[in-house]
Amino acid sequence: MNETYAPDSTGLLFIDPYNDFLSEGGKLWPLLKDSIQEHAVLDHLRQIVAAARGAGIRVFVVPHHRAEPTDYSTWKHPTPYQLSSAKLQVFAKGSWGGEWHPDFAPREGDVVIKEHWAQNGFANTDLDQQLKQHGIQRVILVGLIANTCVEATGRFAMELGYHVTLVKDATAAFGPEMMRAAHELNGPTFAHAIVTTSELLSSLQQAVGRH
pLDDT in tens, 167-183: 999 999 999 999 999 99
In a domain, 160, yes or no: yes
What CATH number has the domain bearing residue 22?
3.40.50.850
In a domain, 2, yes or no: no
In a domain, 190, yes or no: yes
In a domain, 1, yes or no: no
In a domain, 31, yes or no: yes
The residue range of the domain holding 93 is 7-210
In a domain, 199, yes or no: yes
Rounded to whole angstroms, what are the CA distances from 184 to 65, 75, 81, 177? 28, 35, 23, 10
Residues above pLDDT 70, as percent of the chain: 97
Q: How confident is the model at residue 155 (pLDDT cuts 50, 70, 90)?
A: very high
Q: Count of domains in the chain?
A: 1
Residues above pLDDT 90, as percent of the chain: 95
If one counts every other C-beta atom within 10 angstroms of the C-beta of residue 96, the result is 12
Write down the mean pLDDT value for the chain: 96
Of 154, 66, 191, which Cα lies nearest the Cα of 117?
66
pLDDT at 210: 65
Of 22, 57, 47, which Cα lies nearest the Cα of 140?
57
Q: How confident is the model at residue 4 (pLDDT cuts 50, 70, 90)?
A: confident
In a domain, 25, yes or no: yes
Q: How confident is the model at residue 209 (pLDDT cuts 50, 70, 90)?
A: low
In a domain, 74, yes or no: yes
Whole-model pTM: value is 0.96
